[in-house]
Amino acid sequence: MNPYEKLMARKRKWTPVQTTAGTCRQGAEETIHRALALRHMELPVGDFITDALENDVPLAARQLLLSNVKDEENHDLALGYIANAYGVDEESEREAFRLQKAWIEHPDHTITKAMVAERAIFFVLLPFFRANGDPGMRTVSADISRDEQVHVACNSLVQEELGLSISPSLDKLRKATMAWVLQPLGTNAESKFLDKKFWMDSSDRLMYEGKAPELSFTQSARMPAFFEHSNVNLPQYA
pLDDT tens for 25-43 read: 999 999 999 999 999 999 8
Q: How confident is the model at residue 190 (pLDDT cuts 50, 70, 90)?
A: confident
Residue 165 has pLDDT above 50, yes or no: yes
For residues 138 and 143, give the distance between their C-alpha atoms in angstroms, rounded to a whole number: 9
Summarize the confidence of residues 103-118 as an average pLDDT: 96
CA end-to-end span of the chain? 23
For residues 147 and 124, give the distance between their C-alpha atoms in angstroms, rounded to a whole number: 14
User: What is the structure's pLDDT at 219?
Assistant: 64
Residue 231 has pLDDT above 60, yes or no: no
User: What is the structure's pLDDT at 56?
Assistant: 80
For residues 175 and 66, give the distance between their C-alpha atoms in angstroms, rounded to a whole number: 28
Q: Give the angle 28-74-163 at the CA atoms, nearest 5°.
A: 90
Summarize the confidence of residues 117-129 as an average pLDDT: 95
User: What is the structure's pLDDT at 34?
Assistant: 98
- 99-127 burial, b at 16+ Cβ within 10 Å, e below that, comes to bbeebeebebbbbbbbbbbbbbbbbbbbb
Those residues whose C-beta lies under 8 Å from the C-beta of residue 41, and which sit 6 or more positions away, are 96, 99, 100, 103, 117, 121, 122
Domains of the chain: residue spans and CATH? 3-8+24-220 (1.10.620.20)
Average pLDDT, the chain: 89
Residue 229 has pLDDT above 50, yes or no: no
User: What is the structure's pLDDT at 237?
Assistant: 41
Residue 74 has pLDDT above 80, yes or no: yes
User: What is the structure's pLDDT at 221?
Assistant: 44
Residue 161 has pLDDT above 60, yes or no: yes
Residue 162 has pLDDT above 60, yes or no: yes
Question: What is the value of pTM for the model shown?
Answer: 0.89
pLDDT digits over 44-66, tens only?
999 999 998 887 889 999 999 99
- Answer for the pair 116, 166: CB distance below 8 angstroms, yes or no: yes
Residue 214 has pLDDT above 90, yes or no: no
Q: How confident is the model at residue 187 (pLDDT cuts 50, 70, 90)?
A: confident
User: What is the structure's pLDDT at 234?
Assistant: 42
